[in-house]
Amino acid sequence: MSNQGGRLAGRTAWISGAGSGIGREAALIFAAEGANVVVADRDPTAGAATVSAIADAGGRAHVVTVDVSRASEMEAAIAEAEQTFGALHVLFNNAGIFPDEDGLPDDTSEAVWDQVIDVNLKGVFLGCKYGIPALLRAGGGSIINTASFVAVVGAATAQIAYTASKGGVLAMTREIAVAYAKRGIRANALCPGPVDTPLLQELLADPAARARRLVHVPMGRLAQASEIARAALFLASEESSYVNGSTFLVDGGITSAYVTPED
């Protein structure tokens, strides 16, 4: 890994939720492509592990511990990114949660609703609120907001707060894309299908439950976190210079399929 070349050479990327899953894979790939990476995560141990992996491979990274739902912490985290590397060019608002208690509207508590919206939707808003001025100071850049395929189609699994939060991310990203396009900022919503992460492995530990989920995916398998991270790399790089306001689906064809829940 070297910062001397690559598709993100000379740029600084801020990635939330970079201690694990898609965020960690994106941090590793972005660094391998030359970026200075700010690893933002609420778990300082996980964040530090990502930074160590990047440093061991010859890359440059810095960890910030942050709760994305708290404005003061987000403001400070973005400021630290600028202070550490001099500018900010890529903002990847990736952190998100999916509590087991998130179900149908009539059995999801208000507390769970508030928790999911605070992290998944408000967290993206706060990232943009404090990140956009930094991107403007750098002369523009790329915003990638992690939404989901459930922002486009209804989820077969009851998850009302999660689905609503990701729909909000998608709509908000479109508005940001329009508002800042002439000022050098692109914004796109990355919409993954089901990803083979520890969380989903736990939810689909029952082979029957896994089979029911996979029947909806034409490719017949879950995505790997690295596959989603490579899509984020495309959106972060100049290879996507005319991609703005997109619903960037990386879902194995799930939103193109017609399969009923009973199937």
Spatial contact of 61 and 40, defined as CB atoms under 8 Å apart: no
pLDDT (tens digit per residue) in 180-202 = 999 999 999 999 998 987 767 77
pLDDT (tens digit per residue) in 222-237 = 899 999 999 999 999 9
Tell me: pLDDT of 34 over 70: yes
Contacts of 204 by beta carbon, 8 Å cutoff, 6+ apart: 210, 213
Pairing of strands 185-192, 247-250: parallel
pLDDT band at 153 (very low <50, low <70, confident <90, very high): very high
Q: Which CATH number fits domain 12-256: 3.30.565.10, 3.40.80.10, 3.40.50.720, 3.40.440.10?
A: 3.40.50.720
| pTM, to two decimals | 0.93
53-79 average pLDDT score? 98
- Six-digit token pair at 216? 């909806």
Tell me: pLDDT of 1 over 50: no
Contacts of 132 by beta carbon, 8 Å cutoff, 6+ apart: 91, 143, 176, 180, 185
Give SS3 for 116: helix
83-99 average pLDDT score? 97
Q: Which of 162, 180, 242, 258 is catalytic?
A: 162
Partnered with residue 54 across adjacent β-strands are: none
Give SS3 for 200: helix
Annotated catalytic residue 258? no
Spatial contact of 50 and 39, defined as CB atoms under 8 Å apart: yes
How far apart (Å, rounded) are the C-alpha atoms in residues 231 and 71? Answer: 28
How far apart (Å, rounded) are the C-alpha atoms in residues 23 and 2? Answer: 20
Contacts of 182 by beta carbon, 8 Å cutoff, 6+ apart: none
> What is the model's pLDDT at position 196?
87
Cα 93 to Cα 69, 122, 139, 157, 170, distances in angstroms: 12, 11, 19, 24, 12
Tell me: pLDDT of 208 over 80: no
